[in-house]
């Protein structure tokens, strides 16, 4: 191997790194540049002669260097330009066609010669290339063997150098390296501990998640089971709902039919109820004997008997009298009424008999209930109730034994009106409270305690109107009770010999009821008049003769009561077209539409059980008997918009 090639190989050897130990590092053998081979193509190589001075060694070197000239094996190859020129040169002599044919023949002959020369040159070139490849492979093998030997020697030398360099490393460097290694190890151990803790936490979390997953799976199974049960239950309920809906549809149809029948039954009930009331009489008289008060037990009681306790329609009173010869004797006075209440009868017992008339108001019939009797006989107690009665908001008078006819009737009207809503009826209520004192009218619901205004009574289209008086709309029983309490505190009262707190005026409570039924197209408009008459005692018994004011009051009271008797008597005789003297008193003129033949009237006679009141009781019984024997005709229903008087 030449020195230049060895030097080139030496420069390609790997050098040991500076500062490395004495151990030798492996040397990377250099890659020798390969000589480019001559391209073998179909194009003919340049034909020429080999220079005469080149030896076999020169040929080898030229082959190794990659540059080689192909020697010419025969005559020189003609140029393409010459061939083309020869092809284009026409032959002289003969016609043009022959000349061209001859030229073509010569040209083809030249092409065949050239093709043979080209094939010969290609064969020679292929043989030379094969020979050159074999020579180059042998030389490469020799060079590779030499390089491997040199690399092995240099590797040994480098290894010895590395060993020597490693031996030269000082102890300080070794300690530094050990310290760095220890620190890195400690850091790595810390990282490892943290990772272990993280792994432990992840394992614990994974355990919890696994437990939670198991719990959720069991819960899911339970919920699916429950859902299935609920789905079955829902299906059963849907079937039940469908069945119930079918039943509801049938019930609605049946209810509609029953409501229609019920409306017809209600109309029939009203008709039958009115017929029953007519059979009983459109003017009826009830007598009630109040019980004796504790302070009256020593004063002596009158002899009262009730012969027919089952029928409860008769009362007998034993009183002193004179025979035809003038001899004093005891006579038994008997009276018969529609109903007689004994002293032990309660407020509820009285209202049970009166409630039928109260029902007639909702059916469209004017109704009048007036209490008649001497002072202290219990008229106000029967109508309004005891002095200890307190009707608070929401209270039910039927639960209070002291409640009188007025609060019980009001409560019944509201309850019945609400029950009739299912039958299509809607009712509106309004009321007014008037007092007749000395033939004048005092509005007890007005602003002033003493009403000094002049009020005029008018009758239009079957209705009674009092000018300049308060007519209050009533939306609940509590509202009615509040108005009654206000009116009671303003009523004119005075002391007489008959009673320490005697009513010296007539009290009239008028409740107007208007109803309509959108289904049956029926309507009604009626009034309920509840009258608490003043005491009916005679002047000599009341002690009013010595007091001009009391005298005038007694005279006005007796005049109005006398006019009431005259009106009732005239109504009984009015069938023949007789005149009814309603205008004789303010009381009868006010009650014209409530006393006439188109209304239902009840007289509640209040009697005292005391012997000292025996004469007054007889007078009251005779007056009530006269009223009871009067027939005032048939009541007629008042419809909304009725124009009859």
Q: Could you tell me which residues are annotated as the binding site for ATP?
A: 373-380
Q: Are 36 and 66 in contact (CB under 8 A)?
A: yes
In whole angstroms, what is the distance from residue 533 CA to residue 374 CA? 9
Residues annotated as binding site? 373-380
Q: Are 474 and 528 in contact (CB under 8 A)?
A: no
Secondary structure class of 441 (helix, strand, coil): strand
Q: At what angle do helices 347-362 and 405-419 cross, to 10 degrees?
A: 50
Neighbours of 576 (CB within 10 A): 5
Sole residue written with tokens 């030249």: 110
Read off the tokens for 598: 């188109």
In whole angstroms, what is the distance from residue 389 CA to residue 377 CA? 18
Neighbours of 171 (CB within 10 A): 7
**Among candidate residues 529, 530, 517, 522, the one with its CA nearest the CA of residue 642:** 522
606-600-456-565 Cα dihedral, nearest 10 degrees: -50
Provide the β-strand partners of residue 601.
Answer: 283, 368
For the beta sheet containing 328-336, the strands, ordered from the edge strand earlier in sequence to the opposite edge, are 303-305, 314-322, 328-336
Angle at 196 between CA 194 and CA 202, to 5 degrees: 105
The DSSP H or E segment spanning 527 is strand 522-532
Neighbours of 642 (CB within 10 A): 17
């Amino acid at each position: 191997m030449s020195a230049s090639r060895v030097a080139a190989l030496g420069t390609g050897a790997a050098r040991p790194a500076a500062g490395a130990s004495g151990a030798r590092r492996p040397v990377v053998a250099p890659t020798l540049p390969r000589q480019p081979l001559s391209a073998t193509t179909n194009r003919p190589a340049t034909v020429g002669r080999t220079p005469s001075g080149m030896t076999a060694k020169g040929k080898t070197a030229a082959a190794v260097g990659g540059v080689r000239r192909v020697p010419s094996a025969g005559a020189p190859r003609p140029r393409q330009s010459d061939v083309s020129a020869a092809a284009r040169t026409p032959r002289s002599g003969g016609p043009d066609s022959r000349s061209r044919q001859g030229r073509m023949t010569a040209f083809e002959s030249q092409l065949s010669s050239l093709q043979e020369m080209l094939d010969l040159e290609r064969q020679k070139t292929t043989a030379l290339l094969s020979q050159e490849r074999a020579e180059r492979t042998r030389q490469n093998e020799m060079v590779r063997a030499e390089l491997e030997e040199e690399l092995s020697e240099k590797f040994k030398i480098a290894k010895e150098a590395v060993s020597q360099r490693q031996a030269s490393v000082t102890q300080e460097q070794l300690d530094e390296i050990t310290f760095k290694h220890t620190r890195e190890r400690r850091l790595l151990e810390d990282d490892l501990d943290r990772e272990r803790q993280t792994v432990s936490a992840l394992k614990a979390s994974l355990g919890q998640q696994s437990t939670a997953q198991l719990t959720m799976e069991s819960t899911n199974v339970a919920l699916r089971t429950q859902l299935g049960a609920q789905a079955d239950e829902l299906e059963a309920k849907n079937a039940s709902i469908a069945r119930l809906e079918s039943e509801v549809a049938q019930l609605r149809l049946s209810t509609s039919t029953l409501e229609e029948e019920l409306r017809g039954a209600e109309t029939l009930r009203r008709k039958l109820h009115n017929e029953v009331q007519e059979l009983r009489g459109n003017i009826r008289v009830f007598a009630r004997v109040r019980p004796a008060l504790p302070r009256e037990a020593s004063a002596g009681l009158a002899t009262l008997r009730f012969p027919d306790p089952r029928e409860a329609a008769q009362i007998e009173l034993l009183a002193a009298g004179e025979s035809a010869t003038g001899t004093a004797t005891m006579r038994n006075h008997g009276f018969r009424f529609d109903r007689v209440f004994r002293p032990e009868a309660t407020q509820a017992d009285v209202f049970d008999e009166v409630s039928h008339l109260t029902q007639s108001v909702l059916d469209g019939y004017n109704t009048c209930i007036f209490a008649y009797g001497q002072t202290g006989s219990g008229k106000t107690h029967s109508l309004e109730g005891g002095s200890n009665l307190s009707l608070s908001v929401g209270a039910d008078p039927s639960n209070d034994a002291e409640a009188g006819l007025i609060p019980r009737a009001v409560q019944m009207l509201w309850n019945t009106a609400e029950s009739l809503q299912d039958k299509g009826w809607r009712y509106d209520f309004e009321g007014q409270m008037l007092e007749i004192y000395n033939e004048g009218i005092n509005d007890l619901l007005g602003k002033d305690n003493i009403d000094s205004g002049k009020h005029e009574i008018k009758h239009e289209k079957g209705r009674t109107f009092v000018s300049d008086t308060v007519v209050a709309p009533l939306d609940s029983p509590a509202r009615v009770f509040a108005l009654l309490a206000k009116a009671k505190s303003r009523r004119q009262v005075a002391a007489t010999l008959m009673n320490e707190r005697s009513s010296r005026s007539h009290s009239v409570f008028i409740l107007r009821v208007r109803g309509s039924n959108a289904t049956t197209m029926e309507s009604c408009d009626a009034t309920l008049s509840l009258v608490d008459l003043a005491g009916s005692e005679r002047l000599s018994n009341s002690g009013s003769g010595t007091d001009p004011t009391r005298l005038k009051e007694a005279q006005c009271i007796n005049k109005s009561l006398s006019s009431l008797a005259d009106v009732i008597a005239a109504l009984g005789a009015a069938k023949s077209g007789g005149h009814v003297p309603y205008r004789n008193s303010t009381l009868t003129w006010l009650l014209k539409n409530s006393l006439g033949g188109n209304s239902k009237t009840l007289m509640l006679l209040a009697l005292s059980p005391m012997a000292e009141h025996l004469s007054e009781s007889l007078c009251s019984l005779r007056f009530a008997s006269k009223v009871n024997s009067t027939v005032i005709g048939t009541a007629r229903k008042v419809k909304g918009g009725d124009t009859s008087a």
